[in-house]
Structure 1
Amino acid sequence: MTDRVKNLIQRRQKAFASGDKCIFNKLRNQVIYEIKKAKHSHNINKVKYLQKTEPGKWHKEIRSFANMNKSNPTIHVPGVDPVDHVAVSNAINKQLASFSQVQQPLNCDELPAYLPSKDPPPQFQPWEIYGDLKKVSVSKAGGPDNIPQKVLKEFAYELSSPVTDIINTSLQEGVVPSQWKQANVIPLPKTTLTN
């Protein structure tokens, strides 16, 4: 909101209060034009700059324009105090786990045998894994192993060989390491935007 727009709005309101329709219409159109011009100038000067140089701040600006500022969501689970976040998380986890616990476990003896396969499993090379580790985004949170993403990226060269061995062995044996099956899951509540 520029000083010129504020001044025009005050003059427009005075014209409206005095009943002078001709001046009111003229000032109303000027206010609309000046607001559009100010928005355009703001987008070019500030938001476009942030979009190119600092995407994180750009995202915050967009969220503030859309009135989507982060607030602490409250998740209501029947029979659980919403303030006790651990109890809420455990209740949600228990409910989700109950769906898979109803199913009968798979009997590996009754499954069709596809091994040994005619084709050997795919093999990865250390430079492929190195390329993937270098692409890790340091702005994202780490997994349940609590290894920071920055460490994975900075030590991509040193880690590429052992990680390649683990992946190739996993593919060859048909077994995924149990640690790789774990993840940090954060339930997000369904919320509505308010104006």
Structure 2
Amino acid sequence: MMVFTKYLEDFLMKCSTIGRNSATGRLAIGVGHESYESSHLQPSQWYGEVRELCGLANRPCTFPCTNNLSPSEAAEALNDHIASICQQLPPLDTTRLPAYLPARLIAPTVSQFQVLQKLEKTRVKRGTIPLDLPMHLIKEFAMELATPLTSIINASLQQSKCPSQWKTVFVTAIGKTQSPSSFGELRPIAITPLPSLLCESFATDWAYQDLAPSVDRRHFGNMRSSSTTHCLVSFLDFVLTHLDKRKSSVTSIFIDFKKAFDLVDHITVISKAAASMGIRECLFP
């Protein structure tokens, strides 16, 4: 059944590609003694109905861990759970960081044209928070919004301070399983305000320029023009190359750290980034 389903999906994708420009379509599929007919449907609807027929359609996720809580109580409990993860580490103590002041280089500035380019490249369907303007308005009035945003971003970089409104994060919980039994089985998806995202993207670009020359080329995570596919290809090449050798074997160990990014000590990261990775000092607090 799994093999049939895979071939069916491949066939359907080809049908969708061929019939993408067609206004209507007709598809009849028989499984066992049951037949299923779909007429006058768009290709995307074909795909959805066949997935439903094969039992592959996405089912609504239920949250048994919040059944006995009201919506507000569930949101508060989830917020406390997410906050408790980060609270396991002490807050950032700038007195423990290396002395950077006076910095040898002043913080870079951004131009109105650069901000305008970022706004124009922002996806209309990007997730927003209630504090943001609708994305259609942002795209339509990007030229007018670029001027004040440029001033605010440059002031934030020069003063090494982040506006309090930019620190507001709206979190959506996505289940790692079909029916999460605890908050630990929920994956928090955080959305930050658009101005904060723009400022962060500039800082990321500058840090990447400083960091890229010292990164191992076999590092694939969070690197541009790289993905998990490259990692898998590199790993398989390593395994197969050594297995081709006589009297050779390969032992692999995969490690998955629980809440790895949430439990990173910021003091350690900043100290290492400045000391050994060459990121410019003006990008640190």
Aligned partners of 2:138 and 2:145 also within 8 Å: yes
Counterpart among 53, 60, 71 of residue 72 in structure 1? 60
Aligned partners of 1:124 and 1:168 also within 8 Å: yes
Aligned partners of 1:73 and 1:189 also within 8 Å: yes
- Number of aligned residues: 149
Does residue 104 (structure 1) correspond to residue 77 (structure 2)? The answer is no
Q: 1:60 to 1:132 in 2, by over 3 A?
A: farther
Does residue 118 (structure 1) correspond to residue 130 (structure 2)? The answer is no
Query: Residue 74 of structure 2 corresponds to which residue in structure 1?
Result: 88
Shift of 1:169: 1.0
Which runs of no fewer than 5 residues in structure 2 stay unpaired? Answer: 1-7, 24-41, 179-285
SS at match of 1:188: strand
TM-score by length of 2: 0.44
Cα distance in 1 for residues equivalent to 2:97 and 2:134: 39
Aligned partners of 1:144 and 1:182 also within 8 Å: no
SS at match of 2:82: helix
Task: Give the number of the structure whose residues are more often strand, by fraction.
Answer: 2
Cα distance in 2 for residues equivalent to 1:177 and 1:114: 22
Shift of 1:44: 3.8
Cα distance in 2 for residues equivalent to 1:60 and 1:172: 52
1:117-155 deviations in whole A, cap 9, x for unaligned?
111111110011001111121223322414211111111
SS at match of 1:185: strand
Task: Give the number of the structure whose residues are more often helix, by fraction.
Answer: 1
Mapping of 1:98-177 within 5 angstroms?
Answer: 98-177=84-163
Cα distance in 1 for residues equivalent to 2:16 and 2:112: 45
2:63 alignment partner AA: I
Counterpart among 42, 46, 53 of residue 15 in structure 2? 42
Aligned partners of 1:75 and 1:82 also within 8 Å: no
1:62-109 deviations in whole A, cap 9, x for unaligned?
5554445454321122xx426733322221211111122343333333
Cα distance in 2 for residues equivalent to 1:39 and 1:117: 60
Bigger Rg over Cα: 1
Cα distance in 1 for residues equivalent to 2:115 and 2:149: 7
Q: 1:135 to 1:70 in 2, by over 3 A?
A: same
Which runs of no fewer than 5 residues in structure 1 stay unpaired? Answer: 1-34, 51-56
Identity %: 28
1:42 alignment partner AA: C
Query: Residue 6 of structure 1 corresponds to which residue in structure 2?
Result: none
Cα distance in 1 for residues equivalent to 2:133 and 2:100: 36
Cα distance in 2 for residues equivalent to 1:90 and 1:144: 18
TM-score by length of 1: 0.62
Cα distance in 2 for residues equivalent to 1:142 and 1:58: 30
Query: Residue 218 of structure 2 corresponds to which residue in structure 1?
Result: none
Q: 1:73 to 1:118 in 2, by over 3 A?
A: same
Aligned partners of 1:126 and 1:164 also within 8 Å: yes
